[in-house]
Protein backbone atom coordinates (compact mmCIF):
# COMPACT_ATOMS: atom_id res chain seq x y z
CA UNK A 1 0.00 0.00 0.00
CA UNK A 2 1.48 3.35 -1.13
CA UNK A 3 1.78 6.40 1.15
CA UNK A 4 -0.64 8.31 -1.11
CA UNK A 5 -3.18 5.51 -0.73
CA UNK A 6 -2.94 5.68 3.05
CA UNK A 7 -3.57 9.51 2.93
CA UNK A 8 -6.71 8.97 0.86
CA UNK A 9 -7.99 6.35 3.27
CA UNK A 10 -7.36 8.70 6.21
CA UNK A 11 -9.21 11.56 4.47
CA UNK A 12 -12.20 9.30 3.86
CA UNK A 13 -12.22 8.24 7.49
CA UNK A 14 -12.04 11.87 8.68
CA UNK A 15 -14.85 12.91 6.31
CA UNK A 16 -17.00 10.13 7.71
CA UNK A 17 -16.26 11.15 11.31
CA UNK A 18 -16.67 14.92 10.79
CA UNK A 19 -19.24 15.55 8.03
CA UNK A 20 -19.31 18.93 6.27
CA UNK A 21 -21.79 20.47 8.75
CA UNK A 22 -19.53 19.70 11.72
CA UNK A 23 -17.65 22.86 12.86
CA UNK A 24 -14.36 20.97 13.11
CA UNK A 25 -14.66 19.74 9.53
CA UNK A 26 -15.57 23.23 8.24
CA UNK A 27 -12.66 24.99 9.89
CA UNK A 28 -10.39 22.02 9.30
CA UNK A 29 -8.83 23.12 12.54
CA UNK A 30 -6.81 20.23 13.86
CA UNK A 31 -5.50 22.14 16.92
CA UNK A 32 -6.65 19.89 19.76
CA UNK A 33 -7.62 22.86 22.02
CA UNK A 34 -9.71 24.72 19.42
CA UNK A 35 -11.20 21.46 18.28
CA UNK A 36 -12.37 20.62 21.82
CA UNK A 37 -14.04 24.04 22.29
CA UNK A 38 -15.69 23.87 18.91
CA UNK A 39 -17.38 20.46 19.40
CA UNK A 40 -21.10 20.33 20.37
CA UNK A 41 -21.18 18.13 23.48
CA UNK A 42 -19.29 20.57 25.80
CA UNK A 43 -21.54 23.48 24.69
CA UNK A 44 -24.63 21.47 25.53
CA UNK A 45 -23.18 20.62 28.94
CA UNK A 46 -22.40 24.29 29.55
CA UNK A 47 -25.93 25.28 28.53
CA UNK A 48 -27.38 22.63 30.84
CA UNK A 49 -25.29 23.95 33.76
CA UNK A 50 -26.41 27.53 33.09
CA UNK A 51 -30.02 26.34 32.80
CA UNK A 52 -29.84 24.48 36.13
CA UNK A 53 -28.22 27.47 37.87
CA UNK A 54 -30.87 29.89 36.54
CA UNK A 55 -33.67 27.47 37.48
CA UNK A 56 -32.26 27.13 41.02
CA UNK A 57 -31.96 30.93 41.36
CA UNK A 58 -35.55 31.39 40.13
CA UNK A 59 -36.86 28.69 42.45
CA UNK A 60 -35.07 30.32 45.39
CA UNK A 61 -36.38 33.77 44.46
CA UNK A 62 -39.89 32.34 44.10
CA UNK A 63 -39.90 30.61 47.48
CA UNK A 64 -38.36 33.70 49.11
CA UNK A 65 -41.22 35.77 47.68
CA UNK A 66 -38.86 38.04 45.66
CA UNK A 67 -40.83 37.49 42.45
CA UNK A 68 -44.11 38.50 44.07
CA UNK A 69 -43.51 41.15 46.75
CA UNK A 70 -47.28 41.33 47.35
CA UNK A 71 -47.45 37.64 48.30
CA UNK A 72 -48.52 37.08 51.91
CA UNK A 73 -45.58 35.48 53.73
CA UNK A 74 -45.17 34.77 57.46
CA UNK A 75 -42.58 37.59 57.54
CA UNK A 76 -45.01 40.16 56.08
CA UNK A 77 -47.78 38.98 58.40
CA UNK A 78 -45.63 39.20 61.52
CA UNK A 79 -44.15 42.53 60.44
CA UNK A 80 -47.67 43.98 60.23
CA UNK A 81 -48.57 42.50 63.63
CA UNK A 82 -45.49 44.20 65.09
CA UNK A 83 -46.58 47.73 64.07
CA UNK A 84 -49.56 48.19 66.36
CA UNK A 85 -47.92 50.13 69.19
CA UNK A 86 -45.69 49.56 72.21
CA UNK A 87 -42.30 47.88 72.03
CA UNK A 88 -42.83 44.33 70.81
CA UNK A 89 -39.12 43.41 70.86
CA UNK A 90 -38.67 40.14 72.78
CA UNK A 91 -42.43 39.52 72.94
CA UNK A 92 -45.06 37.55 71.05
CA UNK A 93 -46.15 39.62 68.07
CA UNK A 94 -49.81 38.98 68.82
CA UNK A 95 -51.40 38.36 72.21
CA UNK A 96 -48.24 40.13 73.30
CA UNK A 97 -49.19 40.73 76.95
CA UNK A 98 -49.83 37.68 79.05
CA UNK A 99 -49.08 35.59 82.11
CA UNK A 100 -47.95 31.96 82.44
CA UNK A 101 -49.82 29.34 84.40
CA UNK A 102 -49.25 25.72 85.36
CA UNK A 103 -51.69 23.03 86.40
CA UNK A 104 -53.20 19.76 85.29
CA UNK A 105 -55.78 18.40 82.90
CA UNK A 106 -57.93 15.76 84.56
CA UNK A 107 -59.47 13.66 81.76
CA UNK A 108 -62.65 11.79 82.70
CA UNK A 109 -62.25 9.31 79.83
CA UNK A 110 -65.43 10.41 77.96
CA UNK A 111 -63.35 11.86 75.10
CA UNK A 112 -61.86 8.44 74.30
CA UNK A 113 -64.97 7.51 72.25
CA UNK A 114 -64.11 10.33 69.82
CA UNK A 115 -60.31 10.41 69.86
CA UNK A 116 -57.35 8.17 70.54
CA UNK A 117 -55.37 11.15 71.93
CA UNK A 118 -53.51 9.81 74.99
CA UNK A 119 -54.50 12.81 77.14
CA UNK A 120 -58.20 12.03 76.63
CA UNK A 121 -57.85 8.66 78.35
CA UNK A 122 -58.89 8.89 82.01
CA UNK A 123 -55.98 10.34 84.00
CA UNK A 124 -54.15 13.51 85.02
CA UNK A 125 -51.72 15.25 82.68
CA UNK A 126 -49.42 18.24 83.29
CA UNK A 127 -50.29 21.57 81.66
CA UNK A 128 -48.21 24.67 80.92
CA UNK A 129 -50.41 27.52 79.72
CA UNK A 130 -50.74 31.22 79.21
CA UNK A 131 -53.52 33.79 79.58
CA UNK A 132 -53.18 36.86 77.37
CA UNK A 133 -54.91 39.80 75.81
CA UNK A 134 -55.12 40.01 72.01
CA UNK A 135 -52.89 42.98 71.37
CA UNK A 136 -49.60 43.66 69.61
CA UNK A 137 -48.56 45.98 72.43
CA UNK A 138 -46.94 44.23 75.43
CA UNK A 139 -47.50 47.38 77.53
CA UNK A 140 -51.22 47.81 76.67
CA UNK A 141 -53.66 48.54 79.51
CA UNK A 142 -55.79 45.43 80.07
CA UNK A 143 -59.02 47.43 79.70
CA UNK A 144 -58.25 48.24 76.06
CA UNK A 145 -58.33 44.65 74.75
CA UNK A 146 -61.66 43.15 73.79
CA UNK A 147 -60.34 39.63 73.19
CA UNK A 148 -58.70 37.53 75.92
CA UNK A 149 -57.07 34.16 75.36
CA UNK A 150 -55.95 30.94 76.94
CA UNK A 151 -53.14 28.84 75.45
CA UNK A 152 -52.40 25.34 76.73
CA UNK A 153 -49.91 22.56 76.25
CA UNK A 154 -51.06 19.22 77.67
CA UNK A 155 -48.36 16.54 77.80
CA UNK A 156 -49.04 12.78 77.80
CA UNK A 157 -46.73 10.28 79.56
CA UNK A 158 -45.29 9.27 76.16
CA UNK A 159 -44.31 12.98 75.60
CA UNK A 160 -46.98 13.59 72.93
CA UNK A 161 -48.39 17.10 73.18
CA UNK A 162 -51.67 18.86 72.52
CA UNK A 163 -51.14 22.59 72.07
CA UNK A 164 -54.10 24.90 71.65
CA UNK A 165 -54.66 28.66 71.52
CA UNK A 166 -58.24 29.68 72.32
CA UNK A 167 -60.00 33.05 72.36
CA UNK A 168 -62.97 34.22 74.43
CA UNK A 169 -64.93 35.36 71.35
CA UNK A 170 -67.49 32.81 70.08
CA UNK A 171 -66.28 33.26 66.46
CA UNK A 172 -63.19 34.69 64.77
CA UNK A 173 -63.31 38.05 62.95
CA UNK A 174 -62.19 36.74 59.56
CA UNK A 175 -62.04 33.47 57.65
CA UNK A 176 -58.84 33.81 55.59
CA UNK A 177 -55.20 34.76 56.27
CA UNK A 178 -55.47 37.52 53.62
CA UNK A 179 -58.38 39.15 55.45
CA UNK A 180 -56.53 38.79 58.76
CA UNK A 181 -53.55 40.60 57.21
CA UNK A 182 -55.81 43.38 55.91
CA UNK A 183 -57.44 43.70 59.34
CA UNK A 184 -54.01 43.87 60.98
CA UNK A 185 -52.88 46.59 58.55
CA UNK A 186 -55.99 48.57 59.52
CA UNK A 187 -54.72 48.60 63.13
CA UNK A 188 -51.21 49.91 62.31
CA UNK A 189 -50.15 53.16 63.95
CA UNK A 190 -50.52 56.27 61.83
CA UNK A 191 -46.96 57.70 61.49
CA UNK A 192 -48.29 61.25 62.10
CA UNK A 193 -50.56 60.71 65.11
CA UNK A 194 -48.77 57.59 66.47
CA UNK A 195 -52.24 56.15 67.01
CA UNK A 196 -54.28 53.70 64.94
CA UNK A 197 -56.75 55.37 62.62
CA UNK A 198 -60.19 54.32 63.99
CA UNK A 199 -61.76 54.88 60.57
CA UNK A 200 -59.48 52.28 58.99
CA UNK A 201 -60.82 49.45 61.16
CA UNK A 202 -64.42 50.64 60.73
CA UNK A 203 -63.86 50.67 56.96
CA UNK A 204 -62.40 47.16 57.12
CA UNK A 205 -65.43 45.80 58.97
CA UNK A 206 -67.89 47.51 56.64
CA UNK A 207 -66.14 45.83 53.68
CA UNK A 208 -66.13 42.42 55.38
CA UNK A 209 -69.65 41.21 56.10
CA UNK A 210 -68.23 37.87 57.32
CA UNK A 211 -66.96 39.79 60.40
CA UNK A 212 -70.58 40.61 61.39
CA UNK A 213 -70.97 38.00 64.16
CA UNK A 214 -67.62 38.93 65.70
CA UNK A 215 -68.42 42.65 65.62
CA UNK A 216 -71.85 42.04 67.19
CA UNK A 217 -70.17 40.05 69.99
CA UNK A 218 -67.49 42.75 70.52
CA UNK A 219 -70.19 45.44 70.83
CA UNK A 220 -72.51 43.57 73.17
CA UNK A 221 -70.58 41.02 75.25
CA UNK A 222 -70.19 41.98 78.90
CA UNK A 223 -66.75 43.14 80.04
CA UNK A 224 -65.38 41.45 83.17
CA UNK A 225 -62.35 42.05 85.36
CA UNK A 226 -60.98 38.49 85.28
CA UNK A 227 -59.46 35.82 83.08
CA UNK A 228 -61.11 33.30 85.41
CA UNK A 229 -64.75 33.87 84.40
CA UNK A 230 -64.26 33.63 80.63
CA UNK A 231 -64.90 30.74 78.23
CA UNK A 232 -62.12 30.15 75.69
CA UNK A 233 -62.90 28.64 72.27
CA UNK A 234 -60.79 26.82 69.66
CA UNK A 235 -62.79 28.59 66.90
CA UNK A 236 -60.96 26.59 64.20
CA UNK A 237 -62.30 23.09 63.60
CA UNK A 238 -60.23 19.93 64.00
CA UNK A 239 -60.72 16.21 63.42
CA UNK A 240 -60.81 13.79 66.32
CA UNK A 241 -59.79 10.31 65.14
CA UNK A 242 -61.12 7.45 67.26
CA UNK A 243 -59.42 4.10 67.95
CA UNK A 244 -61.24 2.51 64.97
CA UNK A 245 -59.87 5.24 62.66
CA UNK A 246 -63.18 7.13 62.22
CA UNK A 247 -62.89 10.91 62.10
CA UNK A 248 -65.22 13.39 63.81
CA UNK A 249 -65.22 17.11 63.03
CA UNK A 250 -65.06 19.02 66.33
CA UNK A 251 -64.41 22.35 68.00
CA UNK A 252 -63.64 22.69 71.70
CA UNK A 253 -64.09 25.20 74.49
CA UNK A 254 -62.78 25.70 78.00
CA UNK A 255 -65.89 26.59 80.01
CA UNK A 256 -65.25 28.26 83.40
CA UNK A 257 -66.83 27.01 86.62
CA UNK A 258 -67.08 30.65 87.78
CA UNK A 259 -70.03 32.72 86.49
CA UNK A 260 -69.11 35.94 84.62
CA UNK A 261 -69.34 39.14 86.71
CA UNK A 262 -70.11 41.95 84.22
CA UNK A 263 -68.67 45.44 84.79
CA UNK A 264 -68.40 48.52 82.57
CA UNK A 265 -65.32 49.21 80.46
CA UNK A 266 -64.91 52.58 82.20
CA UNK A 267 -64.73 50.76 85.55
CA UNK A 268 -61.95 48.56 84.10
CA UNK A 269 -60.05 51.66 82.95
CA UNK A 270 -60.01 52.82 86.59
CA UNK A 271 -58.46 49.53 87.80
CA UNK A 272 -54.91 50.10 86.57
CA UNK A 273 -52.91 48.77 83.66
CA UNK A 274 -52.39 45.15 84.78
CA UNK A 275 -55.60 44.28 86.66
CA UNK A 276 -55.99 40.90 84.93
CA UNK A 277 -52.68 39.51 86.24
CA UNK A 278 -53.40 40.90 89.71
CA UNK A 279 -56.88 39.34 89.76
CA UNK A 280 -55.49 35.95 88.65
CA UNK A 281 -52.75 35.92 91.30
CA UNK A 282 -55.22 36.93 94.03
CA UNK A 283 -57.70 34.22 93.07
CA UNK A 284 -55.01 31.51 92.87
CA UNK A 285 -53.74 32.51 96.32
CA UNK A 286 -57.03 31.12 97.68
CA UNK A 287 -57.15 27.93 95.57
CA UNK A 288 -57.08 26.50 92.03
CA UNK A 289 -59.37 27.64 89.21
CA UNK A 290 -61.25 25.19 86.99
CA UNK A 291 -62.57 24.97 83.43
CA UNK A 292 -64.48 22.09 81.79
CA UNK A 293 -63.17 21.03 78.40
CA UNK A 294 -66.30 20.77 76.23
CA UNK A 295 -66.03 19.13 72.80
CA UNK A 296 -68.74 20.00 70.23
CA UNK A 297 -69.30 17.47 67.43
CA UNK A 298 -70.31 18.86 64.03
CA UNK A 299 -73.08 17.56 61.80
CA UNK A 300 -72.63 17.14 58.05
CA UNK A 301 -73.94 20.60 57.20
CA UNK A 302 -71.55 22.42 59.58
CA UNK A 303 -68.63 24.35 58.04
CA UNK A 304 -65.19 22.85 58.66
CA UNK A 305 -63.12 25.73 57.30
CA UNK A 306 -64.75 28.98 58.33
CA UNK A 307 -64.05 30.27 61.84
CA UNK A 308 -66.44 33.23 61.38
CA UNK A 309 -69.45 30.86 61.43
CA UNK A 310 -70.77 29.43 64.69
CA UNK A 311 -72.27 25.94 64.61
CA UNK A 312 -75.92 25.59 65.69
CA UNK A 313 -76.36 25.50 69.48
CA UNK A 314 -78.04 22.07 69.49
CA UNK A 315 -74.94 20.13 68.45
CA UNK A 316 -73.80 17.16 70.54
CA UNK A 317 -71.44 18.25 73.33
CA UNK A 318 -69.19 16.14 75.55
CA UNK A 319 -67.53 17.20 78.77
CA UNK A 320 -64.19 15.38 78.47
CA UNK A 321 -62.41 16.63 81.58
CA UNK A 322 -61.35 19.51 83.80
CA UNK A 323 -58.46 21.93 83.48
CA UNK A 324 -57.14 22.78 86.95
CA UNK A 325 -55.04 25.96 87.01
CA UNK A 326 -52.86 26.00 90.13
CA UNK A 327 -50.11 28.63 89.80
CA UNK A 328 -49.47 31.82 87.82
CA UNK A 329 -46.01 33.19 87.02
CA UNK A 330 -44.78 36.29 85.25
CA UNK A 331 -44.12 35.67 81.58
CA UNK A 332 -40.62 37.17 81.67
CA UNK A 333 -39.31 34.24 83.73
CA UNK A 334 -42.23 31.84 83.64
CA UNK A 335 -42.46 28.37 82.08
CA UNK A 336 -44.64 29.43 79.11
CA UNK A 337 -42.23 32.03 77.82
CA UNK A 338 -40.34 29.76 75.47
CA UNK A 339 -43.34 27.86 74.12
CA UNK A 340 -44.90 28.44 70.76
CA UNK A 341 -48.59 27.55 71.12
CA UNK A 342 -48.83 26.43 67.50
CA UNK A 343 -52.34 24.93 67.18
CA UNK A 344 -51.13 22.32 64.71
CA UNK A 345 -48.90 20.59 67.29
CA UNK A 346 -51.26 17.73 68.02
CA UNK A 347 -51.09 14.19 69.38
CA UNK A 348 -52.16 11.03 67.59
CA UNK A 349 -55.99 11.13 67.52
CA UNK A 350 -56.31 14.85 66.64
CA UNK A 351 -55.70 16.40 63.20
CA UNK A 352 -56.06 19.92 61.82
CA UNK A 353 -59.01 20.63 59.50
CA UNK A 354 -58.48 22.33 56.13
CA UNK A 355 -59.28 25.74 57.63
CA UNK A 356 -56.69 28.03 55.94
CA UNK A 357 -56.25 29.97 59.18
CA UNK A 358 -54.56 26.97 60.79
CA UNK A 359 -51.64 26.76 58.36
CA UNK A 360 -51.25 30.55 58.46
CA UNK A 361 -51.27 30.50 62.27
CA UNK A 362 -48.62 27.78 62.36
CA UNK A 363 -46.20 29.64 60.07
CA UNK A 364 -46.81 33.07 61.67
CA UNK A 365 -46.39 31.72 65.23
CA UNK A 366 -43.08 30.13 64.16
CA UNK A 367 -41.85 33.42 62.70
CA UNK A 368 -42.92 35.32 65.82
CA UNK A 369 -41.25 32.69 68.01
CA UNK A 370 -37.97 32.89 66.06
CA UNK A 371 -37.91 36.69 66.34
CA UNK A 372 -38.66 36.90 70.04
CA UNK A 373 -36.29 34.10 71.00
CA UNK A 374 -33.44 35.75 69.05
CA UNK A 375 -34.28 39.13 70.60
CA UNK A 376 -34.56 37.70 74.11
CA UNK A 377 -31.03 36.33 73.83
CA UNK A 378 -29.73 39.91 73.77
CA UNK A 379 -31.26 41.08 77.05
CA UNK A 380 -31.73 39.60 80.53
CA UNK A 381 -34.79 37.41 81.14
CA UNK A 382 -36.44 40.05 83.34
CA UNK A 383 -36.68 42.57 80.43
CA UNK A 384 -40.14 43.55 79.29
CA UNK A 385 -43.51 44.74 80.44
CA UNK A 386 -43.33 42.66 83.58
C1 LIG B 1 -54.36 34.02 60.20
C2 LIG B 1 -54.78 34.12 61.43
C3 LIG B 1 -53.87 34.32 62.62
C4 LIG B 1 -52.58 34.77 62.70
C5 LIG B 1 -51.69 35.19 61.55
C6 LIG B 1 -52.20 34.81 64.08
C7 LIG B 1 -50.97 35.23 64.56
C8 LIG B 1 -50.52 35.10 65.85
C9 LIG B 1 -49.16 35.27 66.30
C10 LIG B 1 -47.99 35.67 65.42
C11 LIG B 1 -49.12 35.00 67.62
C12 LIG B 1 -47.86 35.01 68.52
C13 LIG B 1 -47.34 33.56 68.62
C14 LIG B 1 -46.06 33.40 69.44
O15 LIG B 1 -45.12 34.19 69.31
O16 LIG B 1 -45.98 32.41 70.22
C17 LIG B 1 -50.45 34.66 68.02
C18 LIG B 1 -50.81 34.33 69.27
C19 LIG B 1 -52.02 33.83 69.58
N20 LIG B 1 -53.10 33.62 68.74
FE21 LIG B 1 -53.18 33.97 66.81
N22 LIG B 1 -53.24 34.34 64.84
C23 LIG B 1 -54.29 34.02 63.97
C24 LIG B 1 -55.49 33.50 64.28
C25 LIG B 1 -55.83 33.10 65.52
C26 LIG B 1 -57.06 32.45 65.84
C27 LIG B 1 -58.16 32.00 64.85
C28 LIG B 1 -57.04 32.26 67.18
C29 LIG B 1 -58.11 31.66 68.01
C30 LIG B 1 -58.54 30.72 68.39
C31 LIG B 1 -55.76 32.75 67.70
C32 LIG B 1 -55.33 32.68 69.00
C33 LIG B 1 -54.10 33.03 69.46
C34 LIG B 1 -53.66 32.87 70.82
C35 LIG B 1 -54.47 32.27 71.93
C36 LIG B 1 -52.37 33.35 70.89
C37 LIG B 1 -51.49 33.45 72.12
C38 LIG B 1 -50.65 32.23 72.25
C39 LIG B 1 -49.82 32.39 73.48
O40 LIG B 1 -50.36 32.74 74.53
O41 LIG B 1 -48.63 32.16 73.37
N42 LIG B 1 -55.06 33.25 66.65
N43 LIG B 1 -51.30 34.72 66.93
Ligand 1: distance of its center to the CA of 170 in Å? 15
pLDDT band of residue 21 (cuts 50, 70, 90) is very low
- Does the beta carbon of 134 sit less than 6 angstroms from any atom of ligand 1? no
Apex CA 78: angle with CA 77 and CA 81, to 5°? 95
Q: Which of 9-23, 47-61, 130-144, 238-252 comes out lowest in average pLDDT?
A: 9-23
Distance between CA atoms of residues 5 and 216, nearest Å:
103
**Which residues on neighbouring strands pair with residue 318, listed in sequence order?**
295
Tell me the domains of the chain and their CATH numbers: 74-376 (2.40.180.10)
Ligand 1: distance of its center to the CA of 179 in Å? 15
Q: Report the candidate in 252, 314, 238 with the shortest Cα–Cα distance to residue 110.
A: 252
* DSSP annotation of 41: H
Beta strands in the chain (DSSP E): 97-107, 123-133, 148-155, 161-167, 232-233, 238-241, 247-256, 289-297, 317-330, 350-352
pLDDT band of residue 301 (cuts 50, 70, 90) is very high
pTM for the full predicted model: 0.84
pLDDT digits (tens, 9 = 90+) for 231-268: 999 999 999 999 999 999 999 999 999 999 999 999 99
**Atom 32 of ligand 1, nearest CA residue:** 165
Q: Does the pLDDT at position 311 exceed 90?
A: yes
Taking CA atoms, 382 is separated from 130, 138, 333, 337, in Å, by 17, 14, 6, 11
Ligand 1: distance of its center to the CA of 386 in Å? 21
Closest atom of ligand 1 to 369 CA is 15
Q: Are 226 and 279 contacting, i.e. CB atoms less than 8 angstroms apart?
A: yes
Handedness of CA 375, 377, 379, 384 (dihedral sign): positive
- Does the beta carbon of 77 sit less than 6 angstroms from any atom of ligand 1? yes
Q: Does the pLDDT at position 386 exceed 50?
A: no
Ligand 1: distance of its center to the CA of 74 in Å? 12
Amino acid sequence: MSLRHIDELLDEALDATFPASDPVAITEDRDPITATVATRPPLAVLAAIVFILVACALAYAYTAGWLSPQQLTPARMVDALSRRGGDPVGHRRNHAKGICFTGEFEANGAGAVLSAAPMLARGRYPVIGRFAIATGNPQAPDATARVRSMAIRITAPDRQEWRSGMNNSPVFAVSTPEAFFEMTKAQELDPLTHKPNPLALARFFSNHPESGSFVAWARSAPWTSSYADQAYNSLNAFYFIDAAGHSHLVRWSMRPTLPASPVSQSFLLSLGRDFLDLDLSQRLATGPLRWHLIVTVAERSDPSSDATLAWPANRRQLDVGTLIVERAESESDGPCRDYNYDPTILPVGIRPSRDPLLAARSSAYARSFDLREAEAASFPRSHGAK
